[in-house]
Structure 1
């Protein structure tokens, strides 16, 4: 990414721990009617590394803020499985905005980050100009059915391994998982370095705690989508194997939503078709800002 842009990194205190953040670009440009993009990564337990291609939007003059949610990446990793909840991550986002003085923002959420973003917007916070939901979900309860439909399209031997085995270091499982990932997660081979970094720094324990054992398994925001009253852009990839039909639920349910489907992408359209994605994203953000002038 550009080395000429100002970069600020640091930690904010949160519930006795530290949350790491990174600001790329000049936050003062909001004086010219251009407001920063705050990004929420997936998981839970994943890291900001999966969103690094979004740094390209700083070429338009807009600042972007990344942070690693508590428990992963460069942030502290509490060894207490009882603390992981949607409420904790909502409070963390509130703390990020307060500590960094982010009064007016655009909010970008990828996958789980989009779920968190919707929960946050429903609290009716001030200063959120727009919402971007990238390969996100409307219901955790729909995941198994969706995943099964995707698996049914896979070669028989791959499908059988993924349906009958849980995560394993065994070569046959890893090979089957690699086939799925390169067809339905990100369609790059080899995977880009930033995504390898994201996987290395992911905290699987947080993910399991929130999904397999926690509230996300039955999480369902569909009844409340009509209550989201900010301009929203829903994006998805044709080959997404994580949430292949939920983008349409979001688009149909949110009153002021626009929808963009990327034809050569899976779960990481912002990384697979970066130039096109940034152009679409910037056009949307600019239109929202112009409506406030």
Structure 2
């Protein structure tokens, strides 16, 4: 997708949330339009990649909002790890919604943003028009088993080498980093060149947040989220749900299927040529699927 397809936001607003202020980017800022709030992946990265890949919503009669989560991008920064919990992040999402949206909204979450969206839906479900879950899961222990399956597909010798480095804490060893690079290409973004916005988000990561909440890399979970599991709780989420997953996704189609079977009102779309970023890898199909889902919800609103 060309950078020329991205548009700039209409308004940049700083919203007070528990722990500080967050920078919110509003596209097509017409309060009469249905609002879509996006929660980017990470944790600990700014929202550049999600806002630029989803800004097309503003050209299709939706008011689109993305924001740099606390500790990232243009939002307030803090090394206080007590701020980086799912409970406080949910309060942050609700503070943004209350400040910028008059009533319920469509909530969209990618990867870590999907875990946050699920957690929000379990606690604040009355505030949602719909839930869009992109390349995410509801059960991290199950995800870890799937990641180990993907890693074993590199061959048992490489997999055992990775496990040995993880046990020793030698994550910077060249052979370990080479295996992570290969896994990233297979399962995170399969494009020959990473989109500028995605690379910009990764380059500006707040690593202390990522490590505290997740772990050392995309394939090892040692942080606060390691035991997170809402797979039974999502049975109580009754709003319409769209689940999007790539055929080669690090958060696998088995994870997506597990969610699909639990949500009372869900639709699942598999992107056959994508890994973890179908909005970059198959943008035409992605836009069509997302807009069809949102338009149907609006017709029934």
TM-score (norm 1): 0.90
1:24 Cα deviation after fit: 1.2
1:102 Cα deviation after fit: 4.3
CA distance in 2, matches of 1:49, 1:224: 31
Which shifted more, 162-171 or 85-94?
162-171
CA distance in 1, matches of 2:108, 2:155: 34
The match for 1:246 among 249, 255, 267 is 255
3-state SS, counterpart of residue 189 of structure 2: coil
CA distance in 2, matches of 1:110, 1:132: 8
The match for 2:188 among 185, 191, 197 is 185
1:44 Cα deviation after fit: 1.8
Per-residue CA deviations over 1:236-277 (Å, capped at 9, x if unaligned) read 000012344210011110010000000000111122111210
Match of 2:53 in 1: 53
Match of 1:218 in 2: 227
1:173 Cα deviation after fit: 3.2
1:94 Cα deviation after fit: 1.0
Match of 1:205 in 2: 208
CA distance 1:3–1:232, shift in 2 (3 Å): closer
Which shifted more, 79-88 or 151-160?
151-160
1:6 Cα deviation after fit: 5.6
Contact in 1 for aligned 2:253/2:270 (Cα 8 Å): no
Per-residue CA deviations over 1:194-240 (Å, capped at 9, x if unaligned) read 11101111112112212356541111101212101000001100001
Contact in 2 for aligned 1:27/1:36 (Cα 8 Å): no
Which shifted more, 277-286 or 214-223?
214-223
Which shifted more, 89-98 or 45-54?
45-54
For structure 2, which runs of at least 5 residues remain unmatched after alignment? 216-221
3-state SS, counterpart of residue 70 of structure 2: coil
CA distance in 1, matches of 2:64, 2:162: 37
1:20 Cα deviation after fit: 1.0
1:278 Cα deviation after fit: 1.0
Contact in 1 for aligned 2:125/2:237 (Cα 8 Å): no
The match for 2:278 among 269, 273, 292 is 269
Match of 2:137 in 1: 137
Contact in 1 for aligned 2:9/2:25 (Cα 8 Å): no
CA distance in 1, matches of 2:277, 2:17: 29
CA distance in 1, matches of 2:138, 2:55: 26
3-state SS, counterpart of residue 241 of structure 2: strand
CA distance in 2, matches of 1:135, 1:4: 24
Contact in 1 for aligned 2:260/2:266 (Cα 8 Å): yes
Contact in 2 for aligned 1:37/1:63 (Cα 8 Å): yes
Which shifted more, 4-13 or 257-266?
4-13
3-state SS, counterpart of residue 165 of structure 1: helix
Match of 1:128 in 2: 128
Contact in 1 for aligned 2:6/2:53 (Cα 8 Å): no
Residues 1:291 and 2:300 are matched in the alignment: yes
Contact in 2 for aligned 1:265/1:273 (Cα 8 Å): yes
Residues 1:84 and 2:87 are matched in the alignment: no
Contact in 2 for aligned 1:40/1:109 (Cα 8 Å): yes
For structure 1, which runs of at least 5 residues remain unmatched after alignment? none
Q: Considering only aligned residues, what root-mean-square deviation do their CA atoms show, in Å?
A: 2.1
CA distance 1:3–1:140, shift in 2 (3 Å): closer
CA distance 1:280–1:4, shift in 2 (3 Å): closer
CA distance in 1, matches of 2:7, 2:86: 37
